[in-house]
Amino acid sequence: MIPKHPSESLTILTDLVLPSETNPLNNLFGGELLARMDRAASIAARRHSRRIVVTASVNHVAFNRAIPLGSVVTVEAKVSRAFKTSMEIFIDIWVEDRESGNKTKANEAIYTFVAVDDTGTPIEIPQIIPETELEKQRFAAALRRKQLSLVLAGKMKPEEATELRALFM
């Protein structure tokens, strides 16, 4: 299988925050943002694997900034690391200032998707070759995040989490 670059999976969704998508404070519902992130991440995962993909987990979500009614929101997703059948998708959420057009990072998330065949059986996917400094940082951190998840789920012994242990040595 030929490795791919994260840029090949880049998915950008831009949309407007409408009144039906807001809470009583006139900010975008968190659940609405989660749905947008899931859609973008699934497209990025599909672009990388060229397979059917399913959401395996939502590993991290940071709601750092409220997104007000009428805002233009851009969700950017791309594969940060591929494992055997799973891939980590890093998602950045940007809000565009209505007057200046400047974009500010509002939130971020990390999802994990698994590629499957027509019967739902996990299937091998191409590896990732990061290019930019940010892609390299996210690539390296993805293994530590995976090991932490496996240890917390009881699927890996702490002493086997070599990348994670290296942080504390």
Contact 111, 54 (CB under 8 A): no
What distance in Å separates the CA atoms of residue 26 and residue 4, rounded to the nearest whole number?
41
Q: What is the pLDDT of residues 24-51, one digit of tens each?
A: 999 999 999 999 999 999 999 999 999 9
Query: What does the pLDDT read at residue 165?
Result: 80
Q: What is the pLDDT of residues 102-138, one digit of tens each?
A: 999 999 999 999 999 999 999 999 999 999 999 999 9
What distance in Å separates the CA atoms of residue 161 and residue 169, rounded to the nearest whole number?
12
Contact 114, 122 (CB under 8 A): yes
Per the prediction, the chain carries an average pLDDT of 95
CA distances from 47 to 65, 130, 152 (A): 29, 16, 30
Query: What does the pLDDT read at residue 71?
Result: 93
Give the residue carrying structure tokens 């791919």.
Answer: 4
* pTM beyond 0.85: yes
Count of residues in the chain? 169
